[in-house]
Amino acid sequence: MDKKNYSRLQLIFTMLLFGTIGTLTRYINMPSSIICLGRAFFGAITILILLSVRTEKPDTEAIRRNFWWLLLSSTLMCCNWICQFEAYKYTTIATGTLCYYMQPVFYILAGAVVLKERLTVKKICCVAVAFGGMILVSGVLQIGLHFSELKGVIFGVSGGFFYAMVVLINKYMKDISPVNTTIMQLALVSVIMLPYSAATGAFREVSITTVGIICLLILGVLHTGIGYIIYFDAVNKLPTQTVGILSYIDPVEAVMLSAFFLKEAISIYTVIGAVMILGAAAISELTDDKKTA
């Protein structure tokens, strides 16, 4: 097998892995801040172990140069994860995931405002289509939204917004590898979430079960530590568009698992909305440069 196909398989594997996060969190009966803390802590420890096995060390000089950007992106990552996990608590995995995948829309708008990127007609249309899809997925046009369901939609969309901001901030970092960025972000998320969880009384709300602990360990070690290492190894060897398109395995799988494994009802409006959101996001990533395409 050639290296490019091997990298594709790596990326597909991690997308299939990430697509199970929503279903996995259904079995972790803990506050979102504790889930974030556990995921970051176990993920950071796992990556450090993997780096030591590969006789690699974090680039302390690169980390020092980019520390304030890393701190800002880590704070936004905390918000991103909390909103994502809260969305899963208040609405279905399908709705939460699809609202979360509004992130490319926010990135397009932020890029136009902050990075002064040209907002083309194609991108404007993609934003409008994705927003229309989000309305269909939310169910507001069909049956209205209960307060709990509305909170889930708001948390999902907010999670997508914060993720887009993390990606945007990462563009300002200079001469630091993705692995070094990730290990530092996970470490900082752990440091931030520990006092936050204590201050909000999250530790008092923890329901410790064997299944919950095992699922949290899987989320931190497999989905975050090992998954991120494989993901970045693949991303560094594949074209951007290949990464962009294959990334949509994640939400599609999440929606399918919610229907077949968790028995969550999916209406025709959810399906249409999903196609609109994911289709608009995918098309927005396709370059207008035929040579690059």
Nearest to 74 by CA among 157, 194, 236: 194
Q: Is the pLDDT of residue 100 over 70?
A: yes
What percent of the chain stands above pLDDT 70? 91
Q: Is the pLDDT of residue 234 over 90?
A: no
Read off the pTM: 0.83
**Averaged pLDDT, 275-292:** 66
Per-residue pLDDT band for 293 (boundaries 50, 70, 90) equals very low
Residue 235 token pair:
């991303």
| pLDDT greater at residue 28 or residue 104 | 28
Per-residue pLDDT band for 35 (boundaries 50, 70, 90) equals very high
Max Cα distance, the chain (Å): 57
Q: Is the pLDDT of residue 105 over 80?
A: no
Rounded Cα gap, residues 37 and 219, in angstroms? 11
pLDDT score for 290: 43
Q: Is the pLDDT of residue 70 over 50?
A: yes
pLDDT score for 241: 64
Nearest 5°: the CA angle 31, 35, 39 is 170
- Of 51-55, 110-114, 227-231, least confident by mean pLDDT is 110-114
DSSP string, 235-290: HTTS-HHHHHHHTTHHHHHHHHHHHHTS-----HHHHHHHHHHHHHHHHHHS-S-T
Contact 23, 254 (CB under 8 A): yes
Residues 6+ apart with CB under 8 A from 108: 119, 123, 126, 127, 284
Q: Is the pLDDT of residue 288 over 50?
A: no
Q: pLDDT tens across 146-186, in order?
A: 677 788 889 999 998 998 888 888 888 888 888 899 999 99
pLDDT score for 291: 43
pLDDT score for 25: 92
The region, left, alpha or beta by phi > 0 then psi within -120 to 50, assigned to residue 222 is alpha
Residue type, 240: T
DSSP string, 164-200: HHHHHHHTT--S--HHHHHHHHHHHHHHHHHHHHHHT
**Averaged pLDDT, 56-81:** 93
Element (H, E) at 153: helix 147-170
| pLDDT greater at residue 286 or residue 8 | 8
Q: Is the pLDDT of residue 199 over 50?
A: yes
Rounded Cα gap, residues 186 and 37, in angstroms? 9
Contact 184, 70 (CB under 8 A): yes
Residue 44 token pair:
């950071």
Q: pLDDT tens across 43-67, in order?
A: 999 999 988 888 888 889 999 999 9
Q: Is the pLDDT of residue 134 over 90?
A: no
For residue 194, the tally of other CB atoms under 10 A from its CB is 15
pLDDT score for 240: 65
